[in-house]
Amino acid sequence: MIFGVPREIRTHEYRVGAVPFLVKELVQKGHTVLVETGAGEPSGIDDEAYEQAGATILPSSEKLFNQAEIILKVQGPQPVELDLIRPEHMILAFFNFSSNAELARNLVGKGCSCFAYEMFRTRDGAYPMMLINGQIGGYLAVQQGMFYLEKQNGGRGKLLARIPGTVPTQVVIIGAGSVGFHAAELAAQMGAQVYLLDQNFKRLQEIASRLPSNVTTVISSEQNILELLPNTDLLITAAIQSVAESPKIITRKMVELLPKGAVIVDLAIDRGGNVETSKATTHSSPTFVKDDVIHYCVTNLPGIVPVTASPALSSAILPYLERIAGMDSPAQIKDDPELRTGLAIFEGRVTHPLLAETLELPLLTWDDAAEEDGEST
């Protein structure tokens, strides 16, 4: 198979779809890997490193898309890249189709196949790529929240570290998945008093013993949220679903309860956000103030730490690429239930039920595909 790694062109996306160790693994198994020149530079990887791993460097994305069969991206194709996509392409990326229906329709129209990293699920129910993004995003949420709590940045002028003679800074985190867990872990290690909320009591029981003693786990109810907000310095919302749009948990009236200069980091903003007053921002203009509260709603947080995030992503996707590369034909995907969990579009037809419902398009089942294969032989 011929794999292609283009340079990411989305603003502030500095990761790369494959790092050299992943390229070397594919080349050693007899596959060809094409890398667009400069693709790895934002992640600290030069073209020579890819060549040493066995890749062929191409001068443009046009040449790469023209020759490659499987496209390894980080973000879904940008508008200028759509013209380069052919029906025989298989594209792997974070697509976030729940908040980008237009992209999904365009890709269906192209007749290609798409694996969405956010959809991959293991047999035990874990989302491996989301876990990686969650860990990085959770840590970054605390890091950014600390910065904007500083007085010169408009914040309350509070430090997360526990200082003798002072009242600890209060951090409230909604959502105890991977993102929320790691945010709570870091904030607590810094010294804050942390409240971690989730509606899943079993999940709270499971993680309570793995967190520092200054983390209190609480059921996420309206009453509990209302009681915590007036004393909250940093609110991190991380109620994120793998496919569906994120639920609105914090209303405008709840935001008004926060102290002046408090900070909200809405980590669910890629899928619409958990806060009613949130709107997507960029790293060029990361915050806005609403009701005297600083809102940090930057999409795609992991993209700003590519030297850490790119190798982590390559490590997570390697097992799936090996399985895809080992197939004699794309139709064999139907024989691998775990691989199928990440498949959103197959040869221009939607294979994920929720995506089909959102787009109001027919759902392709593997029984349908088998019947079509039988008719064509």
Number of other residues whose CB lies within 10 A of the CB of residue 285 = 8
Best CATH choice for the domain 2-119+305-376 from the list 3.30.230.10, 3.40.980.10, 3.40.190.10, 3.40.50.720: 3.40.50.720
- Long-range (24+ apart) CB contacts under 8 A made by 207-214 are 207/176, 207/181, 210/181, 211/181, 211/184, 211/185, 212/185, 212/188, 214/162, 214/168, 214/188
Q: What is the pLDDT of residue 96?
A: 85
Q: What is the pLDDT of residue 365?
A: 78
Best CATH choice for the domain 131-304 from the list 3.40.630.30, 3.40.50.720, 3.90.226.10, 3.10.450.50: 3.40.50.720
With 0-12 / 13-18 / 19 or more C-beta atoms within 10 angstroms meaning exposed / middle / buried, residue 27 is middle
Where are the chain's structural domains? Answer: 2-119+305-376, 131-304
Contacts of 82 (CB under 8 A, 6+ apart): 106, 107, 110
* C-alpha angle 262-265-268 in degrees, rounded to nearest 5: 150
Cα separations (Å) of 211 from 206, 214, 215, 236, 274?
10, 8, 7, 17, 24
d(CA 49, CA 18): 12
Nearest to 175 by CA among 96, 240, 97: 240
Nearest to 80 by CA among 61, 99, 102: 61
Q: What is the pLDDT of residue 377?
A: 30
Q: Running along the chain, 377 residues long, what does each successive block of 10 average in pLDDT? A: 96 95 96 97 97 97 97 95 96 88 92 93 88 92 97 95 92 95 96 96 93 96 97 95 79 97 95 93 94 94 94 95 84 85 92 83 70 43
In this structure, the chain runs to a length of: 377
d(CA 142, CA 90): 36
DSSP 345: E
d(CA 345, CA 342): 9
Cα separations (Å) of 172 from 204, 230, 237?
14, 11, 8
The answer to whether the 2-119+305-376 and 131-304 domains have the same CATH topology is yes
Give me the half-sphere count of Cα atoms (radius 13 Å) on the Cβ side of residue 248: 11
Contact 267, 301 (CB under 8 A): yes
Contacts of 165 (CB under 8 A, 6+ apart): none
Task: List beta partners, residue 296.
Answer: 265, 287
Cα separations (Å) of 339 from 17, 225, 332, 372?
18, 38, 10, 21
Number of other residues whose CB lies within 10 A of the CB of residue 349 = 18
Q: What is the pLDDT of residue 317?
A: 95
Nearest to 197 by CA among 171, 227, 176, 228: 176
Q: What is the pLDDT of residue 192?
A: 96
Q: What is the pLDDT of residue 244?
A: 66
d(CA 373, CA 377): 6
